[in-house]
Chains A and B, each alone.
Chain A
Amino acid sequence: MTGHRPPGLRWSDLGHAAFSGPLRELAHACDEAFRGMAARWSADAEDHAAVVAAADLAPIGYLRSFPHLATFATALDPEGDNLSAFAADPSDARTGAVRLTGLAATTGVLTPAACYHVYIQHRGEEFTGPRYITTQNTCFRRESHYQPLRRQHSFRMREIVCLGTREEVTAFLDENRRLTTRLLTALGLPDDWVAATDPFFDPAHHPGYLAQKLQPTKHEARYGDLAVASVNLHEDHFGSAYHMRRDGRAVSSGCIAFGIERWLFALVDRWGTEHTGWPDPRDALAEVLA
Chain B
Amino acid sequence: MPSDPDELHSWVLRKARDLPPEGLTDDLPLLAGRHLTSLHIPELILLLERLRRRPIDVEQLCAGDFRDLATIRARFLHAEPGELA
Evaluate contact between A210 and B37: CB separation under 8 angstroms: no
Residues of chain A contacted by B34 (CB below 8 angstroms): 166, 235-236
Question: How far, in Å, is A266 (CB) from chain B's closest CB?
Answer: 27
Evaluate contact between B37 and A204: CB separation under 8 angstroms: no
Asked if A214 is an interface residue, CB under 8 A from chain B, the answer is yes
Residues of chain B contacted by A205 (CB below 8 angstroms): 42
Bitwise, B8-40 to A at CB < 8 A (1) or not (0) is 000000000000000000000001101001111
Residues of chain A contacted by B32 (CB below 8 angstroms): 215
Number of A-B contacts (CB under 8 A): 41
CA of A204 to CA of B58 in the docked complex: distance in angstroms?
Answer: 6
CA of A195 to CA of B64 in the docked complex: distance in angstroms?
Answer: 13
Evaluate contact between B41 and A207: CB separation under 8 angstroms: yes
* A→B interface (CB under 8 Å): 166, 195, 204-205, 207-208, 210-211, 213-216, 235-236
Residues of chain B contacted by A208 (CB below 8 angstroms): 38
Question: How far, in Å, is B79 (CB) from chain A's closest CB?
Answer: 17
A215 touching B31 in the complex, CB below 8 Å, given contacts A207-B42, A210-B42, A210-B45: yes
Asked if B1 is an interface residue, CB under 8 A from chain A, the answer is no
Evaluate contact between B42 and A214: CB separation under 8 angstroms: no
